[in-house]
Amino acid sequence: MKKKILKFKTDCTIKEIYTFDKTTDLKRPLLGANIPAGFPSPAQDYIEGTLDLNEHLIAHPAATYFVRVEGYSMIGAGIFPNDILIVDRSLEPRDKKVVIAIVDGELTVKRLRIRENYWQLIAENDDYQPINITEDMDFMIWGVITYSIHSL
């Protein structure tokens, strides 16, 4: 991640936004076998090569940003406070995709529902109401979430 470019302190579910900057490689060892969730096999302790997460997580570097989440509206989708989301602004927003949207000047993370006659932004938490997009709203899809990174 590069420097922080924006910081929000409102209840809009986005805490910070970072630009993507791949100026260095950070390759880590990659084990050459699948890791069982049960008992590990000592025979599977060899390294196949190296892995750079940028190569696997970033499809469009010029259009990729990172955002830090604030709030609980998307916990049903596995997105929690302080998670880092990878956002690709070059992807077409489609029905059921999780997106970053701007609604009346506020950034939010929600699931996009595209209906025949209207669009909705749906929270993945029953404590939050859907946002029905109307013509009188200032509305824009800012990007599509491709990955969520969070601590266990």
CB-based contacts of 67, cutoff 8 Å, min separation 6:
14, 15, 16, 17, 18, 84, 85, 87, 100, 109
Cα–Cα dist 86/58, whole Å = 8
Which two three-digit tokens encode residue 57?
């997580």
- Catalytic option among 4, 27, 41, 73: 73
CB-based contacts of 60, cutoff 8 Å, min separation 6:
88, 89, 90, 91
- Catalytic option among 7, 110, 148, 151: 110
Cα–Cα dist 91/107, whole Å = 18
Per the annotation, the verdict on 110 as an active-site residue is yes
Q: Which residue has the tokens 């025949």?
A: 116
Per the annotation, the verdict on 148 as an active-site residue is no
Query: What residues are annotated to the active site?
Result: 73, 110
